[in-house]
Structure 1
């Protein structure tokens, strides 16, 4: 059962809710977010009142955990990045995966970027700045694909099939990571 939640003054960004009943589940209730939907799993024997109570409790819990924290763009380029993300989503993802927030951050030194599907947010490492646009576009598309499919499953990689520079961009980033890990600057060593 999926119920849209339009939110309200205290929860403007609530996600649609899908309730999953399980005969095998006896007492536990769990919740996760997948593809922009909050899935609440409950025991099959719960009454409608218990279902409402637990769904409300899990929506509150997940909202407090994931939807209350905005991501701040450290570089001031959020509007341009958001336009770029929307354009890439239209061109390669059928309009899906557009983040609510996207921005440059300086605290990601071991990753090129990260996405939080629950927030629909994307953070790009400042280390990408100065790289070719087609590489940065790949990273943005990669993270937007995570907003649709959180894992690196075959379905995730199918989302990136339409982008013609996926393989080349991955190789470029692998080379950049290799060089950075070994403190290579590109200048030849003196003998």
Structure 2
């Protein structure tokens, strides 16, 4: 962990901290948190949650310790995989990469974009227009889940129905069943009635 570019840490006037590979380090103090310290990746930043009562010295010690732990465990790569496609342009580029990797480059959408008004589906495609839309509720999910939904919609550009030929296209992606189960679990837990892409 080093000082330099990145987000400022709470309760510290020192230069902002970054991880060894340049990711911002954000410290969150919480009055609810009395003894425990947690660390996780969020939107490309290493977040360290500490009790509000910690001194500056305790903060420095725990931030260093927890960021080192995150980096040792490789949680950033596991949680995010490749850098998350934040913009529509990045999402379209990522779709092209997935199409080339798993569908032989045959699925060529005319547009791929994030949308905020899609509350009943994780993703949708309009084969006649070649357009794909992903719900922005997918953004915080693991990259392998986002990739599944994107591949699902790419496959619909080749086969509109959920038939044997459609599912054959998704066999090449190793996380298909795991991602389907993940999304079903999220839908059940949130109770929002959001459907698996199968319903599109």
Length-normalised TM-score, structure 1: 0.55
State the distance in 1 between where 2:147 and 2:109 align: 14
How much has 1:121 moved relative to structure 2? 0.3
1:137 to 2:142 alignment: no
Residue 165 of structure 2 corresponds to 155
* Long gaps (5+) in structure 1: 1-74, 184-191
SS of alignment partner, residue 148 of structure 1? coil
Residue 35 of structure 1 corresponds to none
Aligned residue pairs, count: 109
1:175 to 2:185 alignment: yes
1:84 to 2:94 alignment: yes
State the distance in 1 between where 2:192 and 2:170 align: 29
How much has 1:98 moved relative to structure 2? 2.2
* Long gaps (5+) in structure 2: 1-84, 194-200
Residue 104 of structure 2 corresponds to 94
Structure 1 consecutive aligned stretches of length 4 or more whose deviation exceeds 6 Å:
none
How much has 1:182 moved relative to structure 2? 6.5
How much has 1:78 moved relative to structure 2? 1.6
2:129 to 114, 119, 126: 119
Residues 69-120 of structure 1 deviation map (CA, whole Å, 9 limit, x = unaligned): xxxxxx9812101110000000000101121101011111110010000110
State the distance in 1 between where 2:106 and 2:168 align: 14
Q: Aligned-residue CA RMSD in angstroms? A: 1.7
SS of alignment partner, residue 123 of structure 1? strand
